[in-house]
Every structure is written in structure tokens, then in C-alpha cells.
Amino acid sequence: MKRLTLFALAITLIATGFAAKTPYQAVLQHSRIRGRTHGPNVCAMQKIQGTDKKYFTNCKQWYHRKICGKPTVVSYECCPGYEKVIGEKGCPAALPLVNIYKTLGVVGATTTKMYSERAKLQEEIEGPGSFTFFAPSNEAWAALSTEILDALVSNVNIELLNALHYHMINKRLTSDDLKHGASFPSMYQDFDVHIHHYSNGIVTVNCARLVKTDQHATNGIVHVVDRVITAITNNVNSLIDTDDDLDTLRTAVAAAGLTNLLENEGSYTIFAPTNEAFEKIPPETLTRILGDPVALKDLLNYHILKNLHCSESIVAGTPLETLQGTVLEVGCDGEEMTINGKAIVTQRDKLGTNGVIHYVNELLIPDSAKTLLELVEGSVVTTASKLFKDAGLTDHLIGSEAVTLLAPLNDAFKDKSLAMTPDLKKLLRNHILKEKFSSKSLYHGQELETLGGLKLRVFVFRNSLCIENACIAAHDKNGRYANMFIVDQIVAPPMGTVMDVLKADDRFSTLVGAIQRAGLTELLNKKGTYTFFAPTNAAFSAMPPADLNKLMRDPKELANLLRYHIGEEFLVSGAVTSHTRMKPLTGDKLELGTRNSTVYVNRVPVVETDLMATNGVVHAVDVIIKPLPPKIVSDQAEGSTIRRASAVRAGTQVMKNDDLFQKVLRSHSSRTMSRVQ
């Protein structure tokens, strides 16, 4: 018992140790696992083809072999703190422990080492102490403009010394100590450096990515970063205030009352639209939004993420929540940062004390700031958009009327005449509901009034939410005043009872007569929720004449056949899934499914669906529906096969034994034994 207790404790401690890993340590561990076949302390690295950017690899990157949408090349290198030994596999030797100055050379930050000597910093980082040095890589220094670099190395090197001191903290900080959102006072006038440690293992300091971490020295630790960082002294509102490219944004922020938010403590990401971005918007749209405080606030909040995300933290598309309440898909395409799949970020990582700004050259307009017409035109319902405008319904789509638009997908209009007629205008008016609804608030049996004066019913199925025959095919589009539901069908309001629907369609003339002979007229006229798989004239004509005549002369048998075609519940085509079952008025069950957009009932294709009635729905079939043969359950079938095989084997064995018995009887020894007896 004691052993079990100790074992359980050990497992718990191991599990706790794994759970306590920082994201960086977790991804480093994964890289170690991927590199272990190459020897001890080898890490797998992924390099983006055509660049010098390398990453320790997580599972997703490893299997996709992509970072920022670009293919990667896998290399195997010494993990941080280790080096190769000639003639031995992997990286068995720990790097020599020397002071920070010498460590800069060991880890390849030779430009930082050179500038440390020039700035008279060498003695300090060779001497006693416990420092953390975020050392810019050679490539980071090379990326600086000539003007900035000249300014740093002039003025008797004071500026260079200050810049290097801003990269230093007066205590030892490993990657485990670099917690997300932490700030540490630098050795340059105690100005803070800002740490962000992301869930994908990326660690940044002032938005510079740590590319080599935890390089230990006798007097501290070195982390190599991919850019030269500068002191952060202003909040994001001050950064917006002082940039001429953000004049319109500054005015909009003040008008929306967001100035205090951007001045207070926080950790935001702002996709700041430039003046150019505002100029791309139609003047009437921009004027409307700027003059509407609610829409304007939603617009600006849609440009602000709840958490700070430096560009280097993004290695794949990720949905990130905005202050407006919806999400933006923030990703990257090679060197480009993308928003909702578009490379519209023109300047990145302008860091403030309470957030980071990325400049964008297109305005991001959320649905909540759009009119109904803008929702329609920006969606996948282009045919419906044109028809609503052609029908003279534009005023309902651009005003402040609280309505809900039912917008059919383009495919719903295939094989339909799109010529504008009074009937089509009336039909389109019945696609606009008089109130602003959310699909989440709809309930089964609810009635919704249209601009055309009709009442449309709501039907809730297991996997579908439908208004009459039209099922909602996408998430709600919630506009400033009105909402839009994208639906899979043109809405077909009910046209009388099931019997009325059948009488109005010449294809069902034989069926109508059969219903009357079978005495089912009253049933199909009374209140109910029937689903009728209605045989057309073609279905009856396909029967042998003798069988048809016999059926029509037997009202009871005719009634049974027709009742097998009528389901006890209401079911539109959009609610049919691959294994839908329905109880008919007579018989066991009807089995429904879909294939290539066609509904089948007992393997019979439905030739036309969703003829709506006040007491049900009619689906036309060209074949009389018959019960399916009983299915043999697989395990029973297997058992019966085994039993049959056993019987065959047993029977064969009996035959063999009988033959043997006869041979024995005929044998000489057997005859002799008989005589002796």
C-alpha cells in the first residue's frame, strides 16, 4: 500500500511538472523530442524558406510544415546552452560558462558585442553582477536605417550606451520568469521593458521576438532578440494624437468617447485605420457612421482586440476577440500580417505603455454598424440583393426600421424566372419580417408577421431552424437597426390545406380521386402537422393496370397505401439528415436521407419538395412508396454465417463418418468378427 501511495505521489509530481511548463518550455520540449534521434540535446527547428527566420516547432507547425502559410525546412541544431563535440553524436557538451560579454560572442550576437565595447559597456558586463541582456542579433542591427544607426553611435556614444542599457535588466530572468504581461525596469532610467509570453511558445520583449533564449553566463543571462528595441514612454492615445496619418482616427476616437479607454491602463491591440483607409469608404457611409455614436463606437471597438498581440506572436490564422464582441481572424502570409485574410497592415508594432498599434489601410466595418442593404451587399446573397432593389424595397433596407430580412442563397434562385412581376414583388415583401429577431430567440410554433401581411411559422428541428420551408443556413447578420437571416430556400407561404395544395396541382389529379375514394379527404383538410409524400399521376401510371384497377376498387386497401405515404409529423426538406426516420399513419416507418441535394424516402427520390400547407407539407414522388425489406443486423448476419458454415462442416463430417462406417462393415475383419459372434 505504501508503494502504491509513493507511486501515485510520483505520478502527481511528474504531471504537475509538465502542467507547470511555460508555453516556451513546452514547445522547446517538443522540439527536443523531434530532434532526439539525432543525438542528445538536439532540437528540431523550422526555417521559413527564403528567409532567415527560425522557430522551435509545435505539433501543428511540425505536421503542416508551414509557418505563416509558407513552407518550412526542418533543421536539427543544438538546443540552447549546448554545443557539438567533434566525433560525437548530437550536442553532448554544455556551453562554457563565461561572462556576458564573452557569451555575446558565443551565441553569435557579435555586433552587440562590438557595440558594447564601443559604448564602454564591456567592463560592466564582464564584471560582477546578475544581469539579463536582451541582445539584438546581427540581423537586427543591420535592419536599422542608416540615420538611426548614425544617431546611436554618435554623441560620444552616450546614445548607444543608453540604448544598450535599455536592453538590460539588473537581475537574472530566465524564459520561465518572463511571464505574459510582465514589465521590468530597464537599466536606462528605469524605463520598463514589456514582456509577452504567448500560448504558442513565442516570447517577445517590446514586440521583439526572442530567437535564442536562456544563454547562461557567470554574471547573468543572455536572450538574443530579432530587433533593436526602443524605450516606451507614451500610451496608445498619445501615439494616435501625435501621428498625422491618424488624424481622422483621432477625431473619431474623441467623438465616440474612447479617449479615456486608450489613456488608461490596459493591454490592447489597435488596428489603427489611416486617413487613407477612411477615404476609401463611400462618403455617405462614412458620414452616416460618424454621425451615429452607437455605430461609430462599434466600428472603433471592432478595431481593438482585448489582448495585446505583437506581430511576431502570429504564426497562423487565429480568431481573436474584439472589444465590439465579435472576432477578427488575425494571421500572416509570409512577412505580411493579415486581417480576415487580407494583407492590409502597413506598419506594425508601434508599442505604447498600454497596448500596441498596427496601422491598416482599410476600414473594418462590423455588421453592427451596417444598414440592412450593406449587410446584403457584403454577403453571399447577391441575387437576392439585386431582386430586393429591383422590387423597390430599398427604403426598408437603408432606414432605421427594426426588421429582419430573410435572404435566400443564390442557389435558391436556380431554375427560377427572375423577371420582376407583381407576384415576385409580393413574395419578396414576405421575406421581410416586421420585427428585429435573433435566431436564438425563435421557438417552435412561433408566428412571424411579414411586411406583406402574412404570418410565417417557425419550426425547430434537431439540426435545423426553419421559417416555413426555408431553413437558416448561416449565422445571423446583426446590423445597426435590422438583422438578416440567410436561408436555403425561397420562402413558400402555405397555400391552403394539404388537400387544397393537391387539388391546385394537375400532377396530383389521380391522387385526389384516390383520396376521395379512400375517405381521407376530411383528414387532409383538418388541422394537423402532416408530411405527405404524394404520388403523382406518373406514380400511379407506372403500376400494372390490373393492380391499379384492383387497388382503386378496394377503398380499405387504398386507404392503407395512402396512409403509409403520410407522416405523423411535419418535416421540410432542409431538416432531413442522412438517417431520418418518420412514423407513417399506417405501417412501421419511413426512412429518409439525402444524396446530391435530393431527398429520398425508402430509397424513392422526391421530385419536388416543400409544397407548404396550413396543416402540413407535401413532397411529390413519381413512384409508389413501399416498405423496405427488413435489415439484417451485421452481428446477427455474421452469427448466422458462422452457424451455416458450422452446419456445413458438421454435415460433411457426418457424411465422411458414414462412409467410413460402411467401409468398416464391408471389410474382411468385420465379416470375421460377425462369424465369431
What was the pLDDT predicted at 150?
82
The strand pairing partners of 566, in sequence order, are 532
CATH class of 236-365: mainly beta
Q: Where, residue-wise, is CATH 2.30.180.10 in the chain?
A: 97-225, 236-365, 370-462+471-487, 498-621
Q: How far apart are the first and last CA of the chain?
A: 74
pTM for this prediction? 0.81
What was the pLDDT predicted at 151?
80
Distance CA(392)–CA(394), nearest Å, equals 6
What was the pLDDT predicted at 640?
47
Q: Which residues of the chain have pLDDT under 70?
A: 1-20, 155-156, 632-677
What was the pLDDT predicted at 25?
95
C-alpha 42: how far from its chain's center?
A: 35
CATH 3.40.50.2000 fits 97-225, yes or no: no
Q: Read off φ and ψ for residue 621, nearest 5 degrees.
A: -130, 145
Distance CA(264)–CA(235), nearest Å, equals 8
* Burial (0-12, 13-18, 19+ Cβ within 10 Å), 307: middle
Fold designation for 498-621: FAS1 domain (2.30.180)
Cα angle, residue 440 at apex, residues 438 and 445 outer, rounded to 5°: 95
What was the pLDDT predicted at 378?
86
Cite the DSSP H helix spans in 243-393.
247-255, 259-263, 275-279, 283-290, 293-301, 372-377, 382-390
What was the pLDDT predicted at 658?
52
Q: Would you state the CATH architecture of domain 370-462+471-487?
A: Roll (2.30)
What was the pLDDT predicted at 654?
39
Contact predicate 585/528, CB 8 Å: no
